[in-house]
A = this chain, B = another copy of it.
Amino acid sequence: MSRMGTQTLVFDSPPFIAAQTSIVGPKEGKGPLAEWFDVILEDDLLGQQSWEMAESEMVCRAVERTLRAANLSADAAQAMLGGDLNGQIIASSFAARTLGIPFLGLYGACSTFIQALILGASLVSGGYLDNALCAASSHYCTAERQFRFPVEMGNQRPPQASWTTTACGCALLSRQAAPDALRVTCGTIGRVIDLEIKDSNHMGAAMAPAVCSCISAHFADTGRTAADYDLIATGDLGWIGRNILMELFHRDKTDMPDEKLIDCGASIFFQEQDSHAGGSGCGCVASVSCGWLMKRLQRGELKRALITGSGAMLSPISCQQGQSIPGIAYAVCIEGGAK
């Protein structure tokens, strides 16, 4: 338990990732990462009466599958940290109601999963909890209703718009796990950054400055560079936002090799899947982290990755009032266990 620089928490007793689950919807299940996800839903309503309850059911299933994989009962789960994009984070809070697990609700927009990992790792590494479930979800239809228009309206989307993924990721942090389990070793808390983007369809542009700030703070705090990581992932900047981020790094003279930086949102869909700028939503970085990234770390293909989540504080009310869209980002370092 210590602190490095101005924004980075170091977990001296790094919690293990005892188990993790990724669930995605049918469209995401046809994308390039399909083979990496644990569950691909055939029906994105999950047998529920509304999209919101469907998203909540997806969170329940992700948590329950994670607990089963870790051979832990829901009663033994000490806390669930998480959130989603719905107002009043109902997907997560209704799931916590069903599951009966002590709940810490977070709102970091699409950065929520990484925010949950940092806070969860702090609580487990600090000895407050033996385990902590970190989860985040999004659903295309709930997000459209929350932020834009009902899907039934068939509203046209501009090219810079991203497609909110129907997806959920859940990781169980634990003080005890197999010695080769992944570990969360440090995390960086971002600042809210606003470069005056007002286009509510251009999330990548709204978030890229916050991601640049957070990764730069991480490097400054830890003395590391991109060379210290096998992979640096961003959450859901999409193809355009990722380019903006690279420009920002270039402007700041921060070395960031193009091949080392992957964006989850730019990776989850094929371009011909009509997702426009790429995938977004809390579930994007959550499912891609729990699927693709953690599994590659578990296989030893990567030794150490920095995963960034970013959120656009996109509020329908503040947008209608002419306010710009601030962004926030968090970063966690995940390392492979002993082989």
List the interface of chain A (C-beta within 8 A of B): 1-3, 6-7, 9, 49-50, 52-53, 78-79, 83, 86-90, 93-94, 96-97, 100-109, 115, 119, 122-123, 125-130, 145-146, 189-194, 313-318, 321, 323, 326, 328
Contact = CB atoms under 8 A, between A and B. Distances in A.
Nearest to A118: B104
A68 B125 CA distance: 32
A105 B107 contact: yes
A191 B107 contact: no
Contact of A145 (B88, B96, B123, B317): B317
Contacts of A52: 315, 317-318, 321
10 contacts: A1-B126, A9-B129, A87-B317, A88-B109, A90-B318, A94-B326, A96-B328, A104-B119, A125-B126, A126-B128
B191 A100 contact: yes
A192 B3 contact: no
Of A97, A108, A122, chain B has the most CB atoms within 10 Å of the CB of A97
Q: How many copies does the complex hold?
A: 2
A128 B128 CA distance: 13
A317 B107 contact: no
Nearest to A100: B191
Contacts of A194: 97
B7 A189 contact: no
B313 A88 contact: yes
Contacts of A126: 1, 122, 125-128
Given A49-B321, A94-B323, 12 more contacts: A1-B126, A7-B78, A52-B318, A83-B107, A87-B87, A90-B317, A90-B318, A90-B323, A103-B189, A104-B119, A105-B328, A107-B107
B115 A122 contact: no
Given A122-B122, A189-B79, A313 B94 contact: yes
Contact of A192 (B49, B96, B321): B96
B86 A129 contact: no
A107 B93 CA distance: 10
A10 to B, nearest CB: 8
Contact of A321 (B53, B83, B103, B128): B53
Nearest to A2: B127
Of A49, A127, A128, chain B has the most CB atoms within 10 Å of the CB of A128
Contacts of A191: 96, 100-103
Contacts of A86: 315, 317
B97 A192 contact: yes
B1 A103 contact: no
Q: 5 smallest A-B Cβ distances: which pairs? A: A126-B126, A1-B127, A97-B192, A88-B315, A102-B189
Contacts of A106: 104-107
A104 B100 contact: no
